[in-house]
Amino acid sequence: MIPVQPLCSQMRRDLVQVLALCIAACLLGPQACTRDVPGDKTTTLVFKHGKIAGDPGPFREVILQFERENPGIRIREEVLPAATDEQHQFYVINLEGQTNDFDVFALDVIWVPEFARAGWLKDLTHLLPAQSREAFFAAPLEAVTHTGRVYAIPWYIDAGVLYYRKDLLEQYGFGPPKHWHDLVHSASVIISSEPELYGFLWQGKQYEGLICDVLEYLWSHGGDVLQGNRVVIDSAENRRALSFMKDLIDTYRVTPAFVTTATEEPTRHIFGKGGAVFMRNWPYAWNLFQRDGSAVKDKVGLSPLPAAPGHRSASTLGGWQLGVNRFSRHPREAERFIVYMTSYETQKLLSLTIGYKPTRKALYRDEDLLAAQPFMAELYGVFERARPRPVTPYYMMLSQVLQPEFSAVLAGIKDPGEALRAAQKQMEFILKIEESG
């Protein structure tokens, strides 16, 4: 038996201090007492992100591989609620207090300018020099750039797409619609013979998803919201676009009235049970439609969203980026982790296992990915044309203005012109006040 040597007074005092600090830290929060311990050469990075879709096992294996390649660094994941507004609130509260309780975090594409202007993100321009930026899609790069500097690295990408029942379109002699009136015509013909089906589903509830949907109609009719810092939302093009959205429900009757309460998942469930001809949603739904036991397996096609004649299809950019907390105690290690997580090899693995769509363009020519997910070839063009929501530090305030105005049009409370005039005035007021402040 190894004899136990008595502790000297100084060692006892040191031990008591360490234990006291750890106990106090545990009372303050579960994450605090497992950060770096004095004398331990291992650095623990806290990685905050939302819930991983599907099986989290492959994602965890990616992190374990990083730890194997970087033996002095450990990653502790801390998962936030799935709702992005709750995540945003968490970050605003904590970063305003200059917390260093987490190091790397996932940012919704609309947050980067806001967080960069507030001074909460470390400048990562050196990780993405000009010659390296061509490897990424343009829209995510625009979204992570503020005043010419890069404050996050694009991690995975999303954009709105059109799903359609290819078996039904073939049966009735139609192809994927290029224009909005083509979609209306195809849906009208099919549901007149198949009255149990809905024609076209999309997300019309008053929330951020409504902004994503509406922007696709505005852009595909030649409209816009901001040009630089100038508000241009009150336009003839945008009035036509909003009128068309309302007509889908009231005049053409290809979209059910309940769409004004619908988000992504309810529309995905209905379409996935074989209940609709067309649906606007995000690429994540494809893998779910192709699962064994799916009612629409091998019956679904995917294409870019339609456009008005004379205009181009446009999809609202979604997706997530990785940034470094400017108050992190381990910025170099955090940067190393982000480089790994956004690398070609890691993005490929996450696409194959979880379905995250890569932000690196070369992966859409990768033979392994195309063999496993043939629709990736179609997504390349969608992501090339994707457009970010207004890239401004004040986007969240603008969204809170736009959501009720767009919702009022769909609910029949306001006509498009009235809603757009109100949005124009409120947006101009916000930008004027914020810029002057």
| pLDDT score for 35 | 56
| pLDDT score for 31 | 43
Q: Which of 214, 212, 193 is nearest to 277 (CA)?
A: 193
Please tell me the distance from the alpha carbon of residue 387 to that of residue 94, in angstroms, as a whole number: 30
* DSSP bridge pairs for 323: 105
Tokens of residue 121, six digits: 């993100």
Q: Are 392 and 398 in contact (CB under 8 A)?
A: yes
- What digits encode the pLDDT tens for the residues 286-308? 988 988 999 999 999 999 999 99
Terminal C-alpha separation, the chain: 71
- Note the pTM of the prediction, 2 decimals: 0.84
Q: Are 276 and 199 in contact (CB under 8 A)?
A: yes
| pLDDT score for 39 | 57
- What digits encode the pLDDT tens for the residues 216-274? 999 999 999 999 889 999 999 999 999 999 999 999 999 999 999 999 999 999 999 99
Please tell me the distance from the alpha carbon of residue 122 to that of residue 337, in angstroms, as a whole number: 14
* Structural domains of the chain, with CATH: 39-158+318-385 (3.40.190.10), 161-314+394-436 (3.40.190.10)
Stretches where the chain sits below pLDDT 70 are 1-40, 53-54, 434-437
| pLDDT score for 130 | 87
